[in-house]
Structure 1
Amino acid sequence: MALKITDECINCDVCAPECPNGAISQGEETYVIDPNLCTECVGHYETSQCVEVCPVDCIIKDPDHQETEEELRAKYERLIGGG
């Protein structure tokens, strides 16, 4: 499942640099996560780095983009050119 940033985001800019896939960018009002690039850090880290650094806990699992651990790993492989 990809992650998403809720409207509680305060635009502090700590999450974007932490994303190893470049999935986080500034949206119209708050930061947004591209579900096509988000692997919840599977393949890179044990935990989602954006969630770890977010000071307001506004990053949640996106119910509109549900993926299994295997699907996230496959996406990671595609993104790094391994599959």
Structure 2
Amino acid sequence: MKLAKLPDRTPVKMNVVFTPSLAQRLREYAAFYAETYGNKEEVAELIPFMLEAFLDGDADFRRSRRSAATDIAPP
């Protein structure tokens, strides 16, 4: 079969506590998103994508993950 087994897609719910100033900035970001795309999204809907973009954009983190993967890879 050419298609590999699909990865686990079960959502994982996490509770996070923000400082009041960060919560306000996130609300402002959601408003900016709505202005930009004409589509209102709740902050809770945006956060997973924001975090993913942040992690994908962190070159040091990507390098660290690649290094860890090669350290674990079987010979």
Range into which the TM-score falls when normalised by the shorter chain: under 0.3
Greater relative contact order (Cα < 8 A, sep 6+): 1
Normalising by structure 1, we get a TM-score of 0.24
**TM-score, normalization: structure 2?**
0.25
Q: Give the strand-richer structure, 1 or 2.
A: 1
More helix by share: 2
- Which is greater in Rg? 2
